[in-house]
Amino acid sequence: MNIKRVSGHEVCAVKNEAAVPYLSFPMLENTGIIVHGFSTRLGGVSRDHLTSMNLSFSRGDEDANVRENFRRIGESIGFSCENLVFSDQTHTTNVRVTTEEDRGKGFVKQRDYSDIDGMVTNVPGLVLSTFYADCVPLFFVDPVKKAIGLSHSGWKGTVGKIGRVTVEKMTAEYGSDPKDILAAIGPSICQDCYEVSEDVIQQFRKNYDASLWDSLFYKKPNGKYQLNLWKANEAVFLEAGIQKEHICITDICTCCNPDILYSHRASQGKRGNLAAFLALKTVQE
């Protein structure tokens, strides 16, 4: 797989490249307590602009195709689809405590919640599932309390610091110490590809300390700005108490790799959805 990487070294590893490929973080995998992955657009059965691993039921794809895609990516990463728990993303900072009662919601049974961009759990086998096409996936693993979190952070979620909200939820619900949490910023749009307007930047100026502004954005001659969501979310992690050495930042931009990853910007909205998956291993595993 010919992936264009932002840095000179590999941060996200490619798994099962010859079959149904996905991306993962060795730092998280090395804990030995989780199953996780981030899908590509390869290895599925969807067609045309949805080719081929579309993981969305709401982008005009056939239901049977989407279900087969989930089955394939689940088999590749190592989870069963009946254990999936879907978010209901509306660019909020709402984080849901996910329990055994939620198993299968979004895939094998209806969700009974809405406006959820993040989830946390300490229930083994529940597969937290969030969805992307340029926005930022945030992974959280507490190997001490054996708790996890997975959150969707677009620019609105990043302004609202959903990463910090997720850490606070893990602390409140499971007694997690932020110093123990390992966190990863997943494949998403890089600063070079992410042009935004003045109104967006004004919100970042309001919510982020001025000492960070130079690392988060810069103004161009056309009056627009280039925004670094990766650095912003790293700053949120540090603010939440996560140790710098426990933070892993992706080296893969969705917009730079439109043949491998869905990108809303690169495709001008004609695309499927990628997905992030995170689960605590069961005792049997």
Burial label, 62 (beta-carbon count in 10 A; 0-12, 13-18, 19+): middle
Quickly state the pLDDT bin for 112 (edges 50, 70, 90).
Answer: very high
Percent of the chain with pLDDT over 70: 99
State the residue range of the domain holding 109. Answer: 13-188+246-280
Q: Over range 202-226, report the average pLDDT.
A: 98
Q: What is the mean pLDDT of the chain?
A: 97
| Number of domains comprising the chain | 1
Question: Within a domain: residue 43?
Answer: yes
| pLDDT at res. 9 | 78
| pLDDT at res. 37 | 98
Instruction: Please report, to the nearest 10 degrees, the dihedral formed by the alpha carbons of residues 256, 258, 262, 265 taken in order.
Output: 60
Quickly state the pLDDT bin for 173 (edges 50, 70, 90).
Answer: very high
Q: Over range 28-33, report the average pLDDT.
A: 97
How many other CB atoms are found less than 10 A from the CB of residue 184? 26
| pLDDT at res. 226 | 98
Question: Within a domain: residue 70?
Answer: yes
Question: Within a domain: residue 44?
Answer: yes
Q: Over range 168-183, report the average pLDDT.
A: 98
- Nearest-CA neighbor of 264 among 253, 254, 278? 254
Q: Residue 138 belongs to what H/E stretch?
A: strand 136-142
* CATH number of the domain to which 27 belongs: 3.60.140.10
Cis bond upstream, residue 52 (ω within 30)? yes
The pLDDT tens digits for 115-133 are: 999 999 999 999 999 999 9
| pLDDT at res. 8 | 73
Question: Within a domain: residue 79?
Answer: yes
Question: Within a domain: residue 101?
Answer: yes
Question: Within a domain: residue 161?
Answer: yes
| pLDDT at res. 284 | 46
Predicted TM-score (pTM) of the model is 0.98
Inform me whether the pLDDT recorded for 238 exceeds 80: yes
Question: Within a domain: residue 209?
Answer: no
| pLDDT at res. 283 | 67
Inform me whether the pLDDT recorded for 198 exceeds 70: yes
Strand, coil or helix: 196: strand
Question: Within a domain: residue 239?
Answer: no
Inform me whether the pLDDT recorded for 168 exceeds 80: yes
**Of residues 17 and 9, which shows the higher confidence score?**
17
Q: Over range 228-250, report the average pLDDT.
A: 98
